Amino acid sequence: MIREACKNDLKEMLELYLFLHEKNVPEESKHLEQTWNKIITDSDHHLIVCEIGGKIVSSCVCVIIPNLTRNVRPYAFIENVVTHEDYRGKGYATDCLNYAKKISEKNKCYKMMLLTGSRESNILSFYKKVGYNSSDKTAFVQWMDI
């Protein structure tokens, strides 16, 4: 089942992110709770999950960003695409990304952008297979040293 995350999904999401790039689950804190509440109550922030047998096994984030160009049409930003290693290759991430595309279409976005830190050819091929390209834009990242 593909759906948007709800308040009770925080623990499972933090555990799933261990298969993304996180090394550990953050400790419970007021900041974590406030951030989670902000994410799940923001109508432009969509945390999409694939649930199989009551377990969240795949996810992506789709943020709709208001915009003054392209006839004042928003665009969508996709991040944190992840699937639990035991569930990979079954189409669950594709299902999450297709759900994100429907949200983007509903919001009349003129484009969807996705960034990945992966250099693995199978992951890059996957993104191309589901409709993304790496030739239209050049991405730059500036990490903040806090």
pLDDT digits (tens, 9 = 90+) for 71-106: 999 999 999 999 999 999 999 999 999 999 999 999
Asked if 16 contacts 50 with a C-beta cutoff of 8 angstroms, the reply is no
β pairing state of 2-4 and 55-65: unpaired
The per-residue pLDDT for range 21-65, each reduced to its tens digit, is 888 898 999 999 999 999 999 999 999 999 999 999 999 999 999
Query: Is a pLDDT exceeding 90 seen at residue 114?
Result: yes
Q: Which residue has the tokens 């006839």?
A: 71
Write down the architecture of domain 2-130 according to CATH: 3-Layer(aba) Sandwich (3.40)
Task: Single out the residue of 126, 133, 96, 91 nearest to residue 112, CA to CA.
Answer: 133
Cβ atoms 90, 109 nearer than 8 A: no
User: Looking at residues 5-16, what average pLDDT do you find?
Assistant: 96
Strand partners, 83: 58
The residue with greater pLDDT, 129 or 139, is 129
